[in-house]
Structure formats: structure tokens, C-alpha cells
A and B are shown apart, each in its own frame.
Chain A
């Protein structure tokens, strides 16, 4: 029925080894009464070492080595200058011959080029824009729903939580089919006489898809914090002579900072790392950092994997840094509560 790729037999040996380990463990537990409960965790300790720790170390290993396994910083140099490896791989003699013929590195397509760093900066910019738009759209929505006078609030917030559980890929595809040349929006535009527009495969479509996917992740944490806030505080501010706006920016806004920070992280991180939103809605014309990494690993040249690993390592550090920031501002994870 299916063409399962039967892996090399050594692979099965690994599985058998693991099973044997568990069997040994069980028999040990059976006999030994003084057995301590933490040993129950040992299969998972082994698993986590093989499938989490070692892969992370491998990313680091590949990013500091060349395809032959020698230690090098070249992959990171490639981050600044994306033709660095290609230039290095060329025979200097050959380059000299080309230069004698009056050709420059430029003509050979090997000039200093900064695609990698530019893509990262561009990706950060797109994610930043997405975060700002989500914040501007989401904060008022959260604020309205958290209002005690608004009885529908707690019900409506569920409508914001549900999209967080919806598959991103499918949501992106829904957006794509809406924007397509013969999609619904274009048909409506034609009907009212505007005519069909190119809505897909541009920056705006990618940005729209990102906002569409990540907006609920901004609304929910802010709502959570605002909802838990003691409403007597703002009443007290009003009693003491603040008007509505002063109450907002002197009391409500500062108290909602943990929610805003969680929201920002929860929108910014997936927005920086996404690759299929830009791929599907940008049609290959918009390249984000995620697309770049994907492209490096889909490439058949081994060298590219090392560069790709270096790029992944940079992304990992970026994510860990922003998580660290989140922990510092919102240590109790008040804005959290995501699956």
C-alpha cells in the first residue's frame, strides 16, 4: 500500500537496542525493591540525549566545520558575504587567469554579496512590522473585551483563542485561495467594476498572511493580563481626578506590560522563523530568513548545509535571547497559557 523507505538495518539495531534497554530496566525494577523512582525517567533521558541534545550540538558542529569536517569560521563569514565559500573554493590561479582576461569577480558572480545578512535584516523588519500591526490591532480589541461593562467579552475572547489552535499551514492556504487571481476577492472586485488585481506574490500578501496567522497570539495575553487586573485601581485613579486617557496611560497601560511583552514575543518569534507563509503567499518572490535556511538544506551541495547550520544557529541564539527577555519581564508567565 505504501512505499515505506525501509531504513538501513543498523537503524533497526538502534531500535532493538533501545527496546533491550527498556526490557533490562523493567526486569531490574522487578527484582530490586530498593529501586528509586527517578529511574523511570531513564528511557526518556536517553531519548532526550539522542534526539534533542545531540541534534542541537550537531547544528553547532556543522556550523563550525567545512564539509570535510575541519574546524572553520567560514560559514559565519558566509553570513556576512554570501559568496565567501564559493570564492574560496575557486582556484586562485584560475581567478588570476580571469583577471588577466579583464574579468572581475563581479562578472563571475562572485563579488562580495550580503544576501544572508540582508535577508535576516529584512526578515526582522517584516516580523517587526507584523508585531506592530498586531499590537495596534490587538491591544484595542483586548481592551474592549476586558472591559467589565462589556458582558459579551469573555464569550468573544473564545473566538480569539480558537484560531490559535488552527493549523497555520491550512490558514495560510485559506488566505492564499482568497487572494488568488480567480479567488473570491478578485471576483468581487471584477463585479463592482474595479477589475482583477494581482493580490498574491507580493510583500503585502506575505505581511497580511503573517498578521492573519499571528494576531490572536497578541490579543490573548493582553486580554489575560487586563482581565486579571484589579479594576478598583482604575476606579481609584478616576476618583483621584484622572480623566479617561490619564487613567489609561498612567494605570492600565503600565500594568498591562507583561501581557504586551508576551504578545510581542509570541508574534515576533514565529514571524521571524516562518517559511511557508512567505513561500505560499509570496510565491518565491519574497525571501525571509526561514526560506533562506530551507533553501540551504534543500540544496544538494554539502557545503550549503554547513552554511545553513550557521544560519540556524544564529536563529537559535536570536530566539533564546528573546525568550530570556520574556522571562525577565514576565517571570510568572502571566500572559501565557498557550497550548
Chain B
């Protein structure tokens, strides 16, 4: 019985990991064939950097992730501080609204933002994608900062004001240092989610401005080329490492 159980678990894990493992191994295959191993090589990775479309998409992806993380961290940290100090009812309302982008399926969030841009006659492209990314990032920043605020001494902000600090001074010298670990986790999470996103980007950008995910999607519809394998493998590893780091931080903070 024990062996059967172990075999069963092993099979399920194989099912979960084989496709990814095969994809990564194939990306190092020197030949174009998916079946025959023609030696280890970085040739497809080299080709990635020669493809102007991919480099363009890489630039868009990374710059949007950095900007979205920056803006959403500022917006989210301030919002968390504000929401934390709210009275019960407005606080509950804000937390519910904050939950909307997280609970809605991505396709609905993407489409609703797309309708906003169509309705306001804004041409979809780089800026609309950035705005969409900030929108879905902020709730996660708030969720990272909120627990730190709850751990904080409630009166230290008021004490600082009583001792003559301006609210801005108190914000930067009393609240922020205390919640900094949460802010950093939030920023990392925002950056990763922005790199990770496909669906919302897909609906809020035009085919002319593509990030890596939408590029991979449009290429994959025509069949998978070895360079796409290499790109997927690369993205895959980067995203996984980032998320592992973020989750490790979150776990540590919870303890």
C-alpha cells in the first residue's frame, strides 16, 4: 500500500513537471528537431538577442514592470496607511473595492479596462498597458503593507505629531521605516506580477506594442519555434525565481 501511494504521488508530480522539463531541455538542443538530441548549445538563446521583435518586447516588458512597480508601490503604500487609519465602514468598503481586481477573472478585468480606453477614445498601447498594470498591482502592494501596519504601535504617529512633527515628517520618519519590509515585498510582488501578466496586457495593448507574453502567445498560435522555446524557458526560470524570493520574504514576515 505504501509503495502504491508513493508511485501515485510520483506519477502526479511527473505529470506536473515533465512538460516544463522537456521544454527547458529542448531549448538547449543544438538541432531544430524536437525529438533528436543534437548536442548541447546556447544557439537559440543567442538568436533571441538578435531578434529585434523580441528585444523590443523585452524592453517594453521590463520598463512597464519597473514603472508599474514604482507607481503602484507609492500609491499602494499611501493607500494602505490611509485605509488602515479609516473608520470601520469606509475601511470595509475600500477593502472590498481593493479586492475586485484580485477576485475578478483576468479576462473580465482586461475587458473592462479595454472598454474604458475605448470609451474615452484613448488609443491602446504602451501607456494604457502601464495603467492597467498599475491597477492590478496596487491591491497586492496594499495586502503586503497592511499586516506591517497592524503590527505597528497605533500611537506612535500621533505621538510624533504631538512632539511637533508635520504629517509628512511623521510619514517618512515614523510610519515608513516600520512598514519598509512590507513595502519592499509589495514592490517585488508588483514587479513580478507585471512580468507575469498575459491576459490583461493582451486586452489593453495594441498589436503594435507587444510585451513578451503577448508576443509568445501570437507566435505560439502559428506553432512553436526553437527560439520561442528558449524565450519561454528563460522567462519561466526568471519568474519562478522571483516568485520564490517574494514568497520566502512573505513567509519570513509572517513568522
Contact = CB atoms under 8 A, between A and B. Distances in A.
Contacts of A178: 18-19, 22-23
Contact of B13 (A59, A140, A159, A273): A159
Contacts of B22: 174, 177-178, 184
Interface string B217-233: 10011011000110010
A279 B219 CA distance: 12
| Interface secondary structure of A, over-half rule | helix
A249 interface: no
Question: Across chains A and B, which 7 residue pairs bring their CB atoms closest together, nearest first?
Answer: A41-B82, A5-B125, A187-B35, A44-B79, A55-B112, A37-B85, A40-B82
A43 B33 CA distance: 54
Contacts of B121: 8
B75 A47 contact: yes
B136 to A, nearest CB: 9
A151 to B, nearest CB: 12
What is the size category of the interface that chain B forms with chain A? 35 or more
Contacts of B203: 297
A175 B118 CA distance: 35
Interface stretch (A76-84, A110-118, A311-319): A311-319
Given A182-B35, A187-B35, A293-B107, A44 B16 contact: no
A204 to B, nearest CB: 15
Interface in A162-208: 162-163, 165-171, 173-178, 180, 182-184, 186-187
Nearest to A44: B79
Interface in A273-293: 273, 275-276, 279-280, 290, 293
B9 interface: yes
A273 B5 contact: no
Given A36-B85, A41-B82, A48-B98, A1 B12 contact: no
A162 B21 CA distance: 14
Nearest to A26: B168
A183 B78 CA distance: 50
Given A41-B82, A48-B98, A165 B125 contact: no
Contacts of A8: 121-123
Contacts of A59: 108, 111-112, 115
A315 B112 CA distance: 12
B114 A297 contact: yes
B104 to A, nearest CB: 7
A254 interface: no
A3 interface: yes
A271 to B, nearest CB: 10
Given A41-B79, A47-B75, A273-B105, A170 B111 contact: no
Contact of B228 (A26, A45, A173): A173
A33 B167 contact: yes
B108 A319 contact: yes
A290 B189 CA distance: 27
Contact of A144 (B9, B85, B103): B9
Contact of B105 (A140, A167, A269): A269
Given A174-B20, A276-B198, A308-B111, A43 B235 contact: no
B100 A52 contact: yes
Contacts of A245: none
B209 A5 contact: yes
A3 B59 CA distance: 11
A295 to B, nearest CB: 12
A236 interface: no
Contact of A312 (B13, B60, B112): B112
Contact of B127 (A11, A42, A169): A11
B135 A297 contact: no
Given A178-B18, A182-B34, A165 B243 contact: yes
24 contacts: A1-B59, A2-B60, A5-B206, A8-B121, A29-B168, A38-B82, A38-B83, A52-B101, A54-B116, A59-B115, A141-B8, A144-B8, A166-B236, A167-B239, A170-B232, A170-B236, A173-B220, A174-B22, A183-B34, A184-B35, A280-B220, A297-B111, A316-B108, A339-B247
Contacts of B108: 59, 273, 312, 315-316, 319
Contacts of A183: 34-35
A52 B115 contact: no
B178 interface: no
A273 B128 contact: no
Contacts of A182: 33-35
Nearest to B171: A40
B215 to A, nearest CB: 11
A180 B228 CA distance: 14
Contacts of B196: 167
B213 interface: yes
